[in-house]
Amino acid sequence: MKIVKFIFFTLFLFLISTSSIFAQDTDKIYLFYGTGCPHCAQVDNFFETNKLIEKYNVDKKEIYFNRENAILFNLIMDQLNIPQNDRGVPAVVIGKKILIGDTPIIENFVIEADKFLEDKKISNTTTTTLERNPALTTTTKLSVQNTDTKDSNRLTFLAVILGALVDSINPCEFAVLIILMTTILSSGNSKNALKAGLAFSLSIFISYFLMGLGFYKALDFGGISGWFFKFIGWLAIILGILNLKDYLWYGKGFLMEVPLSWRPKLKSIISSVTNPRGAFMIGFLVSLFLLPCTSGPYIVILGMLANKTELVKAISYLVLYNLIFIFPMVFISYAVYRGFDPKKAEEIRQSKLRILHLIAGIIMLGMGVIIVSGLI
């Protein structure tokens, strides 16, 4: 089917493109400032009067009103192990050296910048690679920091994929889709069932993407602090433990699935669907029922993106996440169209419930430990 091939192709493109958009230019000297900051204005006047911006290829970054620049600023501060209380503007980053405050910058910038350029010149002419001698120059140390940044970006990319996989194997969405396919197939039209399954998957994608974007923007508007990011990590650990509990003692206490009291109403709503248009419309309503058992990984990933990623990259991640999330829905829809019995799918789902919770628990625990330990 063309639509299935299209989804495969789109997912592949996002996997490739998202993993390669994080290169950071570390050859520049950064000047971080804030609009309205009087000390920043003094530094800016010093740079303009002495024409230092052009001479040293200084990259000016405003962080009060530009979220992307603020994220970059904090990433560099993290790399240089600058405590939160010591961070401020104006700040100049020259290799591993950082100058904070108008007086330190005005008194020391030219000296440090000249040393930085000389080190770069030596680094460019030497035949010894940075990997062979990581203590060569300041530029070498910055390259190592850039590697750390790339490692952090790779971890974020991997976390998005793993979080989406946890959501995609969630028993809740399988149960909902199987009920839908069984209902549509009762009419005897497998093609109609395929269209309904794809329409339902599309509406789930749209609703989850919009909810995710809204949550991200809410965090963006209010800002996200270090302690809240740690809270996200501990939330992931708790979710992991609860899923492991469902593997060891399924059905005991709180269950990481749609609440039992909701299920009759949910089944009644889905069973009323008779065509693809109805499946598309009902998907938006069903997404609200699915939130209690699917929102955990999503919230963890959204908190991570709000802390580490600017809007354009976050949107790419959200698209990737939700493509992975709906992929099993698309696959099952196509399998049913090709003759796979939904009842058999339900039997498989029931027999693998505990294993699915085990996988989800391990992945969420790992993500939580990575966040809490500061590796991402």
Question: Tell me: the pLDDT tens digits for 217-233?
Answer: 777 665 555 566 677 78
Kindly state whether residues 251 and 358 are assigned to the same domain. yes
Domain containing residue 56: CATH number: 3.40.30.10
Q: Would the pLDDT of 22 be above 70?
A: no
Classify residue 78: in a domain, yes or no.
Answer: yes
Name the pLDDT band for 125 (thresholds 50, 70, 90): low
Kindly state whether residues 260 and 307 are assigned to the same domain. yes
Kindly state whether residues 115 and 160 are assigned to the same domain. no
Kindly state whether residues 102 and 236 are assigned to the same domain. no
- Tell me the three-class secondary structure of the chain, residue by residue: CHHHHHHHHHHHHHHHHHCCCCCCCCCCEEEEECCCCHHHHHHHHHHHHCCHHHHCCEEEEECCCCHHHHHHHHHHHHHCCCCHHHCCCCEEEECCEEEECHHHHHHHHHHHHHHHHHHHHHHHHCCCCCCCCCCCCHHHHHHHHHHHHHHHHHHHHHHHHHHHHHHHCCHHHHHHHHHHHHHHHCCCCHHHHHHHHHHHHHHHHHHHHHHHHHHHHHHHHHCCCHHHHHHHHHHHHHHHHHHHHHHHCCCCCCCCCCCHHHHHHHHHHHHCCCCHHHHHHHHHHHHHHHHHHHHHHHHHHHHHHHHHCCHHHHHHHHHHHHHHHHHHHHHHHHHHHCCCCHHHHHHHHHHCHHHHHHHHHHHHHHHHHHHHCCCC
Last residue of a domain, one of 73, 92, 125: 125
pLDDT digits over 29-69, tens only?
A: 899 999 989 999 999 999 999 999 988 889 999 998 887 78
- Give the per-residue pLDDT at 282: 80
Classify residue 6: in a domain, yes or no.
Answer: no
The least confident of 207-211, 259-263, 272-276 is 259-263
Name the pLDDT band for 259 (thresholds 50, 70, 90): low
The larger pLDDT score, comparing residue 275 to residue 144, is at 275
Kindly state whether residues 72 and 187 are assigned to the same domain. no
pTM, whole model, 2 decimals? 0.57
Kindly state whether residues 356 and 209 are assigned to the same domain. yes
Last residue of a domain, one of 108, 125, 142: 125
The candidate with the shortest Cα–Cα distance to 177, out of 335, 359, 367, is: 335
Kindly state whether residues 362 and 301 are assigned to the same domain. yes
Classify residue 287: in a domain, yes or no.
Answer: yes
Kindly state whether residues 205 and 299 are assigned to the same domain. yes
Kindly state whether residues 210 and 259 are assigned to the same domain. yes
The larger pLDDT score, comparing residue 173 to residue 279, is at 279
Q: Would the pLDDT of 93 be above 90?
A: yes
Kindly state whether residues 303 and 161 are assigned to the same domain. yes
Per the structure, how many domains does the chain have? 2
- Give the per-residue pLDDT at 40: 93
Classify residue 240: in a domain, yes or no.
Answer: yes
- Give the per-residue pLDDT at 304: 77
Classify residue 142: in a domain, yes or no.
Answer: no
Domain span at 53: 29-125
- Give the per-residue pLDDT at 24: 41
Name the pLDDT band for 261 (thresholds 50, 70, 90): low
Classify residue 84: in a domain, yes or no.
Answer: yes
Classify residue 8: in a domain, yes or no.
Answer: no
Q: What percent of the chain has pLDDT over 70?
A: 69
Structure tokens, 138:
């300041």
Kindly state whether residues 267 and 345 are assigned to the same domain. yes
Kindly state whether residues 103 and 216 are assigned to the same domain. no
Quote the CA–CA distance of 196 and 277 in Å, as a whole number: 7
Instruction: Average the pLDDT over 115-119 and give the result.
Output: 83
Last residue of a domain, one of 125, 159, 183: 125
Classify residue 18: in a domain, yes or no.
Answer: no
